[in-house]
Structure 1
Amino acid sequence: MNIDNQILFFLSALGVFNSVVLSFYFLFFKHNKTKSDLFLGLLLLSLSVRIGKSVFYNFNPQLSKTYLQIGLSACFLIGPLLYFYVRSILQNLNYSFAKYSLTLTIIIISLFGFLFPYKENPAIWKGIIYYFINIQWFIFIVLSIYEARQIFKKLVANRNQISYHETWILSVIFGVSAIWLSYTLAKYTSYISGSLAFSFSFYISFLLIYYVKSKTSVSVTHKEKYINKIDEKLVKEIHEQISILFETRKMYTNPDLTLSILAKELNIRPQLLSQFINDNLKKSFTQFINEYRIDEAKRLLKERTQFKIDAVGFESGFNSTSTFYSSFKKITGTTPSNYQKDNFYS
């Protein structure tokens, strides 16, 4: 392998290596994992398998046909995982449906691969399967863009209002779209273009996310005037950031959520967050979080009447049944069971 090919191999494989590491972080090592983190980890892992196959096949055409089959099979999961990731981070996903859909897809892919292995049916995999993958992948990209349409509108209207988490969504969609486009046009360019596009998109996305997070941190911490009173503009900014964070990730459903954890997510000092909640909202941190949890419990009691009352409490973020009942009665003036009955028969 000459020096040019060595450089090309390094650049195309670098993104794959880092993507595998990042996927394992989201799947196994990230603290306070959310369901969207799991979908993102699986998406990165599927992309890594697909791109990795392309890299090794490009530099070693004698690569085992079994590995080629695994690489193409992973493509069936990229589109659905992108779609489920976007919907999960926007809190607009039925997780049971997503789980069963992915399980069914894996079973069908495995069964088809067993009956029609790539080694014995290369024409099928290179033909109809390859085209079906591209079409399916494109459909899910379109569906993901539709789910994130409000963020795209914000991108056009006022990009400065886009939050850190919305930047994540845009970066993932654009990155997956760029990879799809590279593979679609590969016969007119180069087979390795998809791998290079992946590495390029991977690092550009992280530079962008790092920039947005740093900008958010500076814009908030630069204005901290923790003397007597928080500036009204900063109060509004903190409030908006909390609203976005809770709407997209529902952090209040984490029973281990603390003021320090929330402050870290917002990139502000815990003292500032405490002052904001105590002085501006006139609440304690526990009361502030419990109000969100009770709103979530009320929604579950209305929409999911098959849930047991205790299960609703745990789903909403309470770590004990007694705390859930006492907080619910204190905030709503009634018990969870009476609230459910009133809304069921109304």
Structure 2
Amino acid sequence: MISLITTFAFAQALIGLYVLPKQTIFSRQYLYLKTLIALISIHLGVKLFLLSVLNDPYLFGRLNSFTTFSYGPLLYFQYLQFKGKALSRTHKVLHLVPFVFAFTLYVSCLAGQIPSKNPALFQQIFEVFVYLLMSSVASYTTWLLWKLVPDTQLPRRERNLLLQCSAFFMSSVFMGYCTSFFNTWLGTHWDAHFFPYLAFGIICWICLRFFLTQNYTQSKPAETARETYEKSGLSDAQLQAYFEALEQLMRREKPFHNPDLSLDDLARSLKISRQQLSQVLNQKAEKNFYAYVNDYRVQEMIVLLKNHPGEKIAELAHQVGFQSKTTLNTYFKKVTGYSPTQYQQFLGSPISEPSKI
């Protein structure tokens, strides 16, 4: 049965890896999710090799994968990217130190043939190893669930994606621990990998569904908004008045310069509720809050690039309110068709148009 579950999860991860590069809508905005799927496929592929090719249930059960130490950090990085918050390279490296250490330990054990030469030491090492990796996944997913549940500013689809992935990772740790507990204290013989690997397969399917439905959900924003706000009580004239007031505020006071600007902040400035502002954005601007604000930042970025051709892109991005270089690149290319660097080069060399890479 465990072989079947591992095969299912591995196949789901491979399908995701095969389909994702074919979807032109994807940008670096989802880089961490793609990396997560790739590492899950490596995890399951190695396990399937141990179980089905080498036919070694001992190594399958005790040689825990180093990739598990990356799952929590990758979800955390993706959350920050969805929020448009910058994370320095140093902080990323610090979060990935356990992953690098686990990889080194994993390779050293295999290279030194410790499982066969010193099985007692091998078992001691990986008993500690499994509790550390469970703690890693549990701590990151607990923090994410704590942040995501009350978060109403993050777009619904992105929020649901991270909530579901975090919940299944958390459940995989809980069920794996419960299975080990029952085996130890009640004498049962359940495989502790069953529920975690089933969860991995479901997580890959959730990510794949998110990407495949991205085009469909973005193609009909206006229709969805009208259905959602049918009973709000706001007339079209009121919506238009609020929208014009919003546009004037954005042009006059430029609140988007604040990198921590929120939907609530903007609603307070207009003296309307956050629900009303959300309706205005969806029905009049046909954008969510993040897309609307970042579009204004991009337009100002274009002006600054023209007026200050020698300035560093990172400094200009900070001036207009972008915290993340990835978010800047994503929205800038969506508006102009070029990356900020390409656009800056084009301004410096007006004879030829830059290639759209």
Residue 12 of structure 1 deviates from its aligned partner by 4.4
Residue 128 of structure 1 deviates from its aligned partner by 0.8
The runs of 5 or more residues in structure 1 that have no matched partner are: 156-160, 225-229, 253-286, 325-346
The answer to whether the Cα contact below 8 Å between 1:141 and 1:177 also exists between their aligned partners in 2 is: yes
| 1:136 to 1:317, Cα distance in 2 relative to 1, 3 A | same
Count residues with an aligned counterpart: 264
| 1:40 to 1:24, Cα distance in 2 relative to 1, 3 A | farther
Aligned residue number for residue 176 of structure 2: 183
Write the distance in 2 (CA, Å) between the matches of 1:209 and 1:195.
21
Aligned residue number for residue 272 of structure 1: none
| 1:97 to 1:294, Cα distance in 2 relative to 1, 3 A | farther
The runs of 5 or more residues in structure 2 that have no matched partner are: 183-189, 227-235, 241-278, 305-313, 333-337, 349-357
Picking from 66, 82, 101, the partner of 1:73 is: 66
Residue 142 of structure 1 deviates from its aligned partner by 2.2
Q: Does 1:171 align with 2:164?
A: yes
Root-mean-square deviation (CA), in Å?
Answer: 4.8
Picking from 221, 233, 252, the partner of 2:223 is: 221
Aligned residue number for residue 12 of structure 2: 18
| 1:170 to 1:133, Cα distance in 2 relative to 1, 3 A | same
SS of residue in 2 equivalent to 1:112: helix
> Which residues of 2 match residues 239-258 of structure 1 at below 5 A?
239=285, 241-245=287-291
> Which residues of 2 match residues 226-241 of structure 1 at below 5 A?
232=239, 236-238=281-283, 239=285, 241=287
Write the distance in 1 (CA, Å) between the matches of 2:156 and 2:91.
26
The residue type equivalent to 1:237 in the other structure is N
The answer to whether the Cα contact below 8 Å between 1:16 and 1:51 also exists between their aligned partners in 2 is: yes
Write the distance in 1 (CA, Å) between the matches of 2:80 and 2:297.
26
Picking from 192, 198, 201, the partner of 2:194 is: 192
SS of residue in 1 equivalent to 2:84: coil
The answer to whether the Cα contact below 8 Å between 2:25 and 2:215 also exists between their aligned partners in 1 is: no
The residue type equivalent to 2:318 in the other structure is L
Cα deviation 1:161-217 (Å, max 9, x = unaligned): 952222222222223223222322232354322222333454467668878986775
Aligned residue number for residue 291 of structure 1: 300
Q: Does 1:37 align with 2:30?
A: yes
| 1:168 to 1:317, Cα distance in 2 relative to 1, 3 A | farther
Write the distance in 2 (CA, Å) between the matches of 1:91 and 1:15.
31
Aligned residue number for residue 343 of structure 2: 319
| 1:294 to 1:79, Cα distance in 2 relative to 1, 3 A | farther
The residue type equivalent to 1:291 in the other structure is E
SS of residue in 2 equivalent to 1:320: helix
The answer to whether the Cα contact below 8 Å between 1:145 and 1:173 also exists between their aligned partners in 2 is: yes
Give the TM-score, by structure 2 length: 0.55
| 1:99 to 1:200, Cα distance in 2 relative to 1, 3 A | closer
Q: Greater shift after overlay, 29-38 or 54-63?
A: 54-63
The answer to whether the Cα contact below 8 Å between 2:64 and 2:130 also exists between their aligned partners in 1 is: no
Aligned residue number for residue 268 of structure 2: none
The residue type equivalent to 1:85 in the other structure is Q
SS of residue in 2 equivalent to 1:241: coil
Write the distance in 1 (CA, Å) between the matches of 2:18 and 2:210.
22
Write the distance in 1 (CA, Å) between the matches of 2:176 and 2:47.
10
| 1:246 to 1:107, Cα distance in 2 relative to 1, 3 A | farther
Cα deviation 1:317-346 (Å, max 9, x = unaligned): 76125749xxxxxxxxxxxxxxxxxxxxxx
The answer to whether the Cα contact below 8 Å between 1:134 and 1:180 also exists between their aligned partners in 2 is: yes
Identity %: 9
The residue type equivalent to 2:299 in the other structure is N
> Which residues of 2 match residues 53-64 of structure 1 at below 5 A?
53=46, 62-63=55-56
The answer to whether the Cα contact below 8 Å between 1:54 and 1:192 also exists between their aligned partners in 2 is: no
Write the distance in 1 (CA, Å) between the matches of 2:31 and 2:210.
22
Aligned residue number for residue 122 of structure 2: 122
Give the TM-score, by structure 1 length: 0.57
Q: Which has the higher contact order (CA 8 A, sep 6+)?
A: 2
Q: Does 1:47 align with 2:93?
A: no
